[in-house]
């Protein structure tokens, strides 16, 4: 019996899930070490106390970014001296999502409450101790990437980033959307999304050290734009989706959202229309939706007016929705 494993999406950006829930208790620790601790994160895991060991992990590897969302019982996690001999010098931003968590390295100890974060370096001997069952969200970024964004990035290691830091809250929400939306695999969109995460990590680190000038000037504004776009992509099938809904989601004004999109040389309406048309094209060329009429697909993706949908689709793709579907069937 192996660790429960499910893969969604396809290719190198797949989302992978591991859990000990279906494993016999006597095999949980050994199999978790083999499949997760040693192979994925290159850390050692040691349960604390007499309680049954329980853990789960959802991970997604993207170009220049790895996202890992997990829960674990009372446990000690260590990047030991023997393990750092692998030469990996990536960074990982650890966001505590529940339960008490203490991190130590470089003769520093940081205590994380829910929502707090800390940066660790894979080249350092580091220990995390979870005193109560809880979860964490880790964002792993190559050193070469973060070093370009943050001056003296090693000085940011093991410095507490409080949960009230705005960039950290934006980062957590935006990165979760990337983890939860495995269909975001398109080249340009994926690269832009990863760049937004890099910027928000850098901004959170700069804010925590009192040196926001160490980050690139794109900062929070770009992070909010990325979060706004991600919300539109996720909800573009809602016919009532409006700029007001996006503003409410971000906690800002409608005018601020308008300026965000205008700063990216696009309007909110044109971005929403583009996402709906992209989704329509995907559905029209996917055999899973072969039994759906063109009008049903148009309604499903948020259009109220079929004539308007047909005009916009033809303007963008140079062919009618029916033409695209018939070409795909040949």
Lowest-pLDDT range, 4-18, 25-39, 136-150, 258-272? 4-18
Burial class (CB in 10 A: 0-12, 13-18, 19+), 2: exposed
In a domain, 277, yes or no: no
Strands 91-98 and 55-62 turn out to be unpaired
In a domain, 326, yes or no: no
In a domain, 289, yes or no: no
> Which pLDDT score is estimated for 10?
38
In a domain, 309, yes or no: no
Q: What is the spatial distance between Cα 255 and Cα 261, in angstroms, rounded to a whole number?
A: 10
Has residue 111 got a pLDDT over 70?
Answer: yes
pLDDT digits (tens, 9 = 90+) for 217-261: 445 566 677 778 878 888 888 999 999 999 888 788 899 899 888
- Given pLDDT bands bounded at 50, 70 and 90, which one contains residue 57? confident
pLDDT digits (tens, 9 = 90+) for 285-300: 888 888 999 999 999 9
Is 80 or 64 the better-scoring residue by pLDDT?
64
In a domain, 59, yes or no: yes
Burial class (CB in 10 A: 0-12, 13-18, 19+), 132: exposed
Which CATH number fits the domain that encloses residue 151?
Answer: 2.60.120.10
In a domain, 163, yes or no: yes
Domain span at residue 190? 4-235
What is the mean pLDDT of the segment spanning 128-142? 91
Domain count, the chain: 1
What is the mean pLDDT of the segment spanning 109-138? 91
pLDDT digits (tens, 9 = 90+) for 157-183: 999 999 988 889 888 888 888 887 665
Smallest CA-to-CA distance from 283 within 250, 324, 228 is with 324
Beta bridge partners of 137: 69, 95
Beta bridge partners of 104: 109, 127
Report how far apart, in Å, the C-alpha atoms of 219 and of each of 131, 202, 213 are: 34, 8, 10
Report how far apart, in Å, the C-alpha atoms of 218 and of each of 46, 108, 162, 223, 284 are: 41, 31, 22, 8, 37
Q: What is the spatial distance between Cα 84 and Cα 212, in angstroms, rounded to a whole number?
A: 30
φ/ψ of residue 40, rounded to 5: -90, -55
Beta-carbon contacts of residue 177 (< 8 Å; ≥ 6 apart): 227, 230, 231, 234
In a domain, 76, yes or no: yes
In a domain, 105, yes or no: yes
Question: What letter does residue 148 receive in the DSSP assignment?
Answer: H
Q: Encoding tokens for residue 166?
A: 């705005």
Whole-structure pTM value: 0.66
């Amino acid at each position: 019996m192996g660790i429960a494993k499910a893969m969604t999406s396809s290719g190198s950006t797949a989302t992978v899930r591991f859990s000990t829930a279906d494993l016999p208790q006597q095999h949980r620790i050994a199999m978790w070490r083999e499949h997760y601790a040693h192979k994925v994160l290159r850390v050692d895991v040691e349960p604390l106390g007499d309680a049954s060991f329980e853990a789960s992990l959802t991970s997604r590897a993207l170009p220049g970014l790895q996202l890992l969302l997990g829960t674990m019982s009372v446990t000690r996690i260590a990047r030991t001296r023997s393990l750092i001999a692998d030469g990996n010098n990536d960074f990982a931003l650890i966001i505590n999502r529940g339960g008490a968590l203490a991190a130590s390295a470089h003769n520093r100890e940081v205590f994380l409450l829910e929502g707090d974060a800390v940066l660790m370096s894979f080249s350092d001997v580091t220990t995390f101790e979870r005193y109560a069952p809880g979860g964490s969200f880790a964002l792993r970024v190559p050193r070469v990437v973060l070093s370009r964004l943050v001056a003296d990035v090693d000085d940011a290691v093991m410095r507490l980033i409080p949960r009230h830091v705005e960039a950290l809250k934006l980062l957590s929400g935006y990165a979760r959307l990337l983890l939860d939306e495995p269909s975001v695999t398109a080249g340009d969109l994926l690269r832009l999304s990863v760049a937004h995460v890099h910027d928000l990590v850098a901004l959170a680190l700069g804010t925590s050290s009192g040196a926001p000038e160490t980050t690139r000037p794109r900062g929070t504004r770009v992070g909010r734009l990325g979060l706004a776009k991600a919300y539109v992509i996720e909800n573009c099938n809602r016919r009532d989706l409006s700029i007001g809904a996006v503003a409410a989601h971000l906690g800002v004004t409608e005018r601020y959202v308008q300026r965000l999109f205008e700063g990216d040389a696009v309007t909110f309406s044109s971005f929403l229309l583009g996402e709906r048309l992209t989704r329509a094209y995907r559905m029209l060329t996917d055999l899973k939706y072969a039994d759906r009429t063109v009008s049903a697909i148009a309604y499903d993706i948020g259009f109220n007016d079929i004539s308007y949908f047909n005009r916009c689709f033809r303007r963008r793709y140079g062919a009618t929705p029916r033409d695209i579907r018939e070409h795909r069937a040949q």
